[in-house]
Amino acid sequence: MRVSRLFRVLSCCISAIPASSQIVPLVLPAGTPLQVKIEKRIRIKGVGQQITGRVVRAVFVFDKEVIPAGSEVVGHVTRLNPVSKQRRFKAILNGDFTPLRNPEIQFAVLKLPDGKTMPIQTGIASQWGAIAPFGNGKRIEARKKNSLIDTAFGRVRMEVLNARQAILTEINSQPKWDRLQEEAYSRLPYHPQFLPANTRLSTQLKEPLAFGMETLAARNIDQSAAPAPDTVVTARLLSTVSSNSDIGLKVSAIVSEPVYSADRHLILPEGTRLTGTVVQAQPARWFRRSGKLRLRFQEMELPEVIPMKNRRLSVEATVASVDAIRKVRIKTDEEGVMKPIEPRTRFIAPAVQMFIGVNMLDETNKNAQSQSANRVLRTIAGASGLGMVGSIAAQFSSEAATGIGFYGAAWSVFNHVVARGHTIVLAPDTPFQIRFGAVHE
């Protein structure tokens, strides 16, 4: 009995000893997202047009970077789809009669920085819009309130994140001249359509992409599943969630960048799965009151390659910042509540257009005004309401110019003051950062 009991104890101990090494296949599965940036402004000409971009964020497999940031991708326009009727109607009301189209783009070639070229197949690129860096350009600070650990690792991690953020902010600043040209084009009744500089496209691999194998020593993964409090990791969503979602809705995310300790031991590999729920959701309301959203992650599951019997852990984690794909910036407070940022300058446009309309009305009642000055004021009033078409129509009479000017002012007041605020919509593959609290086995 004693021998058999000793044998069982030894067997359990041996089975608990990790292997000296672990082989990890470096394969990106189908469905892996690629965040691509279009560096230069491109005029949309038609189907078959070549599109070249660069990967914005590095792609990892377990702990290895397989597609570095800056890698080039080459694709083409596969289709031109008409925009929604609402957007088309709004453009016509503003004097833009261009038949707007949304280009469908697919990528077929990947060029790595070392010169290696690989064929790829991606789905239709979507969610395109101007890049907005993490945290609206603000530095990320480690929280000291209710924090249990304030180590050198935490400080180093924050500095690395802030350095990356500064680089992204620098390379993603759209040239001012391009913005001025796009604004001028938008005032024309018919104009060419462009894919703006620094537009980001989100696409997914349709087929797996292999990068070989990697052999990991056990010492490189024996510290996995131990993230310290205030550890911030980069992840991506697996499901859609918005400020209109129901409380308690399940939310899943995947860690997209490995996390290391100060001595370069792996803490969390890429592929770690996080599961949580929606704990606060407030829809957008009238008078520009934007929606609110808060997520809470409570479970973490390590990849199967980790040699552990129990790879699931209970955690406490919230969203630290969101990489907004569209022009609307999202700020996150210390409790993880996300809310769109309403620019304070939104009142300037309605005020200016009201000023133009009132001045046009005053000048209409005055007969002493010179014809040249009246013509200039009519042009400005018409442009503020219906763009180039309004400028031409305003030349027929002062009354027409006044009416168009007040129409533009009313529309601007509605859009900037009365309309509903922004709804937070986080689509699948949206990059964001998660801050961990205490971890419990």
**153 has a pLDDT exceeding 80:** no
Q: What is the pTM of this model?
A: 0.74
**157 has a pLDDT exceeding 60:** no
How far apart CA 299 and CA 396 sit, in angstroms, is 68
Residue whose entry in the numeric block shows the structure tokens 């000793």: 6
Q: What is the DSSP letter of 289?
A: B
What is the end-to-end Cα distance of the chain in Å, rounded? 34
How far apart CA 385 and CA 368 sit, in angstroms, is 25
The region, left, alpha or beta by phi > 0 then psi within -120 to 50, assigned to residue 39 is: alpha
pLDDT computed for residue 172 by the predictor: 46
Q: 187 versus 67: which is more confidently predicted?
A: 67
Q: How many CB atoms lie within 10 A of CB 293?
A: 28
**184 has a pLDDT exceeding 90:** no
How far apart CA 31 and CA 97 sit, in angstroms, is 38
- Class in CATH terms, 220-342+425-441: mainly beta
Fold match between domain 21-133+172-216 and domain 220-342+425-441? yes
Contact 125, 105 (CB under 8 A): yes
Residue-averaged pLDDT of the chain: 78
Per residue in 364-418, pLDDT tens? 656 545 566 677 777 877 777 777 677 788 888 888 888 888 888 888 888 888 9
Q: Which regions of 87-159 does DSSP assign to beta strands (E)?
A: 101-111, 117-119, 126-130
- Class in CATH terms, 21-133+172-216: mainly beta
Neighbouring-strand partners of residue 297: 276, 317
How far apart CA 122 and CA 125 sit, in angstroms, is 8
Residue whose entry in the numeric block shows the structure tokens 């819009």: 129
How far apart CA 262 and CA 266 sit, in angstroms, is 10
Contact 47, 101 (CB under 8 A): no
Per residue in 267-308, pLDDT tens? 889 999 999 999 999 999 999 999 999 999 999 998 887 766
Contact 66, 26 (CB under 8 A): yes
At 74, give phi and psi (nearest 5°).
-125, 130
Q: 9 versus 163: which is more confidently predicted?
A: 163
Q: At what angle do helices 348-364 and 398-413 cross, to 10 degrees?
A: 160
Angle CA 248–132–54, to nearest 5: 110
**Residue ranges of the domains in the chain?**
21-133+172-216, 220-342+425-441, 346-418
Contact 268, 227 (CB under 8 A): yes
How far apart CA 412 and CA 393 sit, in angstroms, is 19
